[in-house]
Structure 1
Amino acid sequence: MEYLPIFLDLKCKNTLVIGAGDIAFNKIKLLLRANAIINIIAKDLCSEIRYLLAQKKIFWIGQEFKISYLKNVFLVIAATNNTELNKTIFEKCSKLRILVNVVDDQSKCSFIFPSIIDRSPIILAISSGGTAPVLLRLLREKIEAILPKRLGNIANMAGKWRKIIKEKFSNVLERKRFWEKLFNSIFVQHIINGKEKKAISTIEKMITQPNTLIGEIILVGAGPGNSDLLTLRALQVMQEADVVLYDNLVSKDILNLIRRDAKCIYVGKRAGLKSITQKKIIKLLIFLAKQGKRVVRLKGGDAFIFGRGGEELEAAKNANINVQVVPGITAGIGVSAYAGIPLTHRDYAQGVIFITGCKCINNISNNWSVLSDPSYTLVVYMGSLKALEISKKLILHGRLKSTPIAIISQGTTINQQVLIGRLDEIDKIFKLTVSPTLLIIGPVVLLHRKLKWFKNLSNFNNLKTTSSVINI
């Protein structure tokens, strides 16, 4: 983050604008909307600024800049064509620790103006840090189009009732639930349609209704790694969570999408490393939900594909806790697609089988005869754990030593690496990879050469994905 986005309270604070042309006028308009005290230094004033002066909305205090004018000033804007003067203003303000903006010279700014979407009291400010103003304008137009003009009226109405709601619901979580329920009700539509009396009636009715805190557990699949592959429903739920328990494979980009005031608890587990037990995770989920909290269990991939989501859902049901499940794109689907490997193809494979390199608790063994059928693609999660054993069992039961395999590490991310080789080379290839990995076994792997696409797209975006072929 190049700049910290903050909102300044300029009410009744002295600001200084050096320059009085069209550019200065645009900045003055923003300062007026913020109710700042505006002092002008300039030799000549444009007609618009003269009009503001006549209305006594601004003060013209001098024609030449002097350092004495900086006394008791909170914020300064330099909008002149004089490069040396702008430099001097910036240096003096910096020395005195006064916020300063030299228009159109980002190197001489302690703050920059964002693009503003005004639905007062709701204000949205977006910025590209000065890198892409045209892109910023396009984004602003899109956001402007989807935000109702009366959005501020909704906030104003809520503000009027805030004290009453606080007295009615002393518990913070109860108040949060009430406001969420209100803002998802017909109340909003009444305000947008200008029906204030009906909106008030809706609030009064909802206040009298029971607001019992009912906790729930929501299993959310975060997808295979790339935040772009997160589902819309997953994003919505993450924004509504009170607590999020997340796994090791959930990327930082996805974690950054969680509601800011939600409590995030890392319960990641990685094969071969000491970590919190599944039993303790389940106990924590139930404990938090029984406190009336909306608890999101965020897992890489899909919760029901080798994610132990079934165990957690079963435990929640046994504890009589409300549950939801938000499916995610499982690694087998997402990673193979990003590697350009179709798991089924009429000329190569009539089906696909997902297995895991981890053993089940009750040590149920795989049916190697079925897994060794060359007409099926085999996708192995956590395959590095038993790579050599899997290879030997498959070859023993009929798979050819030359069967193509793909080992994809950090799939769908900018660090994706695809290594292609033979089944009898599996142990050697795994030593070249970085976890997490996905193993694909079968003739469909050969299509990677022709169908790979993420590498080319990544090169276009300066991303670093690699693809290698080993002895095949």
Structure 2
Amino acid sequence: MQSPAAPLLFPLFLDLRRRRVLVVGGGSVAARKIEALLEAGADIALVAPALDAALRDLVRAGRITHLAPAFAPAQLDAAWLVVAATDDARVNRAVSEAAQARRIWANVVDDAELASAQLPARVQRGPLQIAISSGGAAPMLARHLREQLEAQLDESLGALAQLLADMRGRIRALLPELGERRAFFRRVLAGSAQSLLRRGDADAARRNVEAELHATTPARRGRVALVGAGPGDPGLLTLRALRLLNEADVILHDRLVSDEVLALARRDATRIEVGKRLGGNHHATQQRIHALMIELAQAGKHVVRLKGGDPFVFGRGGEELEALRERGIDYEVVPGITAAVACAAHAGIPLTHRDHAQSLRLLTAHARDGEASHDWAALAQPGQTLAFYMGVSGLEQLRDNLVGHGLAASTPFALVENGSRPQQRVVAGTLAELPALARLHGVQAPALLIVGEVAALAPRLHWFGAAPLTADDARCRRLPRAA
């Protein structure tokens, strides 16, 4: 037999400030309802024979009143709303019937038939609220949608809503026509105010909105966000990065940013690959990136400069910010999970360990003019982990530098190729075997080299993808053994 259709409820936001709400029930469910009601400024009267610890604390603090141990219909006489949150069906029904007799809205937890009001799943950003209800038919679906919206809606929307609320009178006075106000709000929402609030600059955001309010022929200001795409797994993207990808007009992305991450961006955004390729003129390519960012921002575009890993860890993000600042372009930076953290985690390698490594060094095998110059003697000291970026093409020289300055040839290493991606491979061994093992397995970029005692944990602690390839693998029997 088909269940009756859920009722189509009329959505309504109530002003409960200083208005009495009766809550019947003293457990954790009642406590959750009371928490939301207190945020709305309600005067809470509680009826229950016993209270859980959180509710007892609220009573002692004078934030709610414990009215009585048992429900009586007369307790509803001063109430605007009642919530029945007990595990006793008879009490809940008595509350519902008494409320109906007095024409008072009643919410009965987990019993849609007895309830005349539903408390929805909410997404809140300051004064801005989104309420989601299934009419009591599918509360888990409503919660699921709330979780999705929580991920999509930036916290700065609350500050923007409050700013616009504070200016509401002036906005209506200066822009009396509805069409003018709509155009103004479109400009504000497409402009820099939210970005300024996101970085905590409320004064600049107010000035931005004021400028839009008085603009006669407003021009859209462009901006650039340097966004870390992480190691490639789209699940590791930050919420802020996801939100900016959905606001972007143009995405300038590195070659190694995964298709799965790009698929999360706004569908109609223009995507331009600006990655540097092996053997190319990296300096010229970087200058082209600077020119593109500036040109697009000056044309009023919202640009996301999407970089693998983190923009400020061997990502040349500092150079790009300097170029933007020199031309007066508005910018922000969203960090990403850098390769050392992501690759190590997916290979089961703790970068620090009380027994093996008390410090971590992030290093690059290449500088602006070729091979990086490091203090190799310092890198050869024990008790540390070395994480080398962009080192696949110079493994033999790197190994020789470390061993030549005192690091034991038996020191463990792990090469993590395509870390966090479905095609991840890990090659593990000792420094003596490093170049030969990498050649044997054809390791290619992107790959991160981890050197130190912690790398020896990879064969035992791996959890993602295939087990690490080692010198004990049947294909590696003829490799030179560690000294």
Q: TM-score range by the shorter chain?
A: 0.5 to 0.7
- Matches of 1:184 and 1:428, distance apart in 2: 53
Counterpart of 1:437 in structure 2 is: 447
One-letter identity of the residue aligned with 1:429: L
Counterpart of 1:266 in structure 2 is: 273
Deviations 1:185-230 (A, max 9, x none): 9xxxxxxxxxxxxxxxxxxx99844354222111100111111110
Q: 2:377 aligns with which of 351, 364, 369?
A: 369
* Same amino acid, percent of matched pairs: 40
Aligned to 1:244, what secondary structure does the other structure show? strand
Counterpart of 1:322 in structure 2 is: 330
> What are the residue-to-residue correspondences of 1:228-243 with 2, within 5 Å?
228-243=235-250
Counterpart of 2:154 in structure 1 is: none
C-alpha spacing 1:279/1:391, structure 2 compared with 1 (3 Å): same
C-alpha spacing 1:139/1:420, structure 2 compared with 1 (3 Å): farther
Contact 2:362 2:386 in 1 (8 A): yes
Deviations 1:336-370 (A, max 9, x none): 01111111112111211111122333876211111
Counterpart of 2:99 in structure 1 is: none
C-alpha spacing 1:206/1:216, structure 2 compared with 1 (3 Å): closer
Counterpart of 1:356 in structure 2 is: 364
Counterpart of 1:469 in structure 2 is: 470
Aligned residues: 310
Contact 1:216 1:295 in 2 (8 A): yes
Contact 1:407 1:418 in 2 (8 A): yes
Deviations 1:252-274 (A, max 9, x none): 11101111121111112233357
Post-superposition offset of 1:143 = 1.3
One-letter identity of the residue aligned with 1:261: D
C-alpha spacing 1:336/1:183, structure 2 compared with 1 (3 Å): same
Contact 2:459 2:467 in 1 (8 A): no
- Matches of 2:305 and 2:226, distance apart in 1: 5
Task: Report whether the alignment pairs 1:291 with 2:306.
Answer: no
Post-superposition offset of 1:250 = 0.9
> What are the residue-to-residue correspondences of 1:73-92 with 2, within 5 Å?
none
Counterpart of 2:230 in structure 1 is: 223
Post-superposition offset of 1:181 = 6.7
Deviations 1:90-131 (A, max 9, x none): xxxxxxxxxxxxxxxxxxxxxxxxxxxxxxxxxx9xxxxxxx
One-letter identity of the residue aligned with 1:291: A
Unaligned runs of 5+ in 2: 8-131, 133-137, 151-175, 196-209, 473-481
One-letter identity of the residue aligned with 2:226: L
Contact 2:231 2:337 in 1 (8 A): yes
Segment drifting more, 257-266 vs 267-276: 267-276
Contact 1:419 1:467 in 2 (8 A): yes
Deviations 1:138-182 (A, max 9, x none): 55652168879xxxxxxxxxxxx999369958xxxxx85445579
C-alpha spacing 1:206/1:144, structure 2 compared with 1 (3 Å): farther
> What are the residue-to-residue correspondences of 1:146-165 with 2, within 5 Å?
164=179
CA-atom RMSD in angstroms: 4.0
Q: 1:406 aligns with which of 404, 414, 423?
A: 414
- Matches of 1:339 and 1:385, distance apart in 2: 21
Counterpart of 1:387 in structure 2 is: 395
- Matches of 1:146 and 1:439, distance apart in 2: 37
- Matches of 2:346 and 2:364, distance apart in 1: 20
Deviations 1:57-109 (A, max 9, x none): xxxxxxxxxxxxxxxxxxxxxxxxxxxxxxxxxxxxxxxxxxxxxxxxxxxxx
Unaligned runs of 5+ in 1: 1-20, 30-123, 125-135, 149-160, 170-174, 186-204, 456-463
Contact 2:416 2:424 in 1 (8 A): yes
Post-superposition offset of 1:406 = 0.2
Counterpart of 1:448 in structure 2 is: 458
Contact 1:358 1:382 in 2 (8 A): yes
One-letter identity of the residue aligned with 2:145: I
- Matches of 1:437 and 1:362, distance apart in 2: 18
Q: 1:306 aligns with which of 292, 308, 314?
A: 314
One-letter identity of the residue aligned with 1:250: V
Task: Report whether the alignment pairs 1:334 with 2:335.
Answer: no
Post-superposition offset of 1:466 = 3.9
One-letter identity of the residue aligned with 1:142: H
Segment drifting more, 376-385 vs 275-284: 275-284
One-letter identity of the residue aligned with 2:297: A
Post-superposition offset of 1:469 = 2.1
C-alpha spacing 1:295/1:434, structure 2 compared with 1 (3 Å): same
- Matches of 1:425 and 1:439, distance apart in 2: 13
One-letter identity of the residue aligned with 2:277: R
Contact 1:344 1:444 in 2 (8 A): yes
Deviations 1:378-416 (A, max 9, x none): 111111121111001111101111111101111011221
Counterpart of 2:290 in structure 1 is: 282
Counterpart of 2:256 in structure 1 is: 249
C-alpha spacing 1:217/1:442, structure 2 compared with 1 (3 Å): same
C-alpha spacing 1:281/1:181, structure 2 compared with 1 (3 Å): closer
C-alpha spacing 1:273/1:421, structure 2 compared with 1 (3 Å): farther
Counterpart of 1:142 in structure 2 is: 144
Moved over 6 A (4+): 144-148, 181-185
Post-superposition offset of 1:468 = 1.9
Contact 2:223 2:330 in 1 (8 A): yes
- Matches of 1:137 and 1:434, distance apart in 2: 49
Contact 1:416 1:466 in 2 (8 A): no
Contact 2:192 2:223 in 1 (8 A): no
Contact 2:250 2:303 in 1 (8 A): yes
Aligned to 1:240, what secondary structure does the other structure show? coil
Contact 1:246 1:297 in 2 (8 A): yes
- Matches of 1:304 and 1:418, distance apart in 2: 25
Task: Report whether the alignment pairs 1:347 with 2:355.
Answer: yes
C-alpha spacing 1:146/1:289, structure 2 compared with 1 (3 Å): closer
C-alpha spacing 1:382/1:182, structure 2 compared with 1 (3 Å): closer
- Matches of 2:149 and 2:438, distance apart in 1: 51
- Matches of 1:354 and 1:247, distance apart in 2: 21
- Matches of 2:140 and 2:366, distance apart in 1: 49
One-letter identity of the residue aligned with 2:358: Q
Counterpart of 1:107 in structure 2 is: none
- Matches of 2:466 and 2:178, distance apart in 1: 54
- Matches of 1:341 and 1:162, distance apart in 2: 62
Deviations 1:309-344 (A, max 9, x none): 111011111111111010111000111011111111
TM-score relative to the length of structure 2 = 0.56
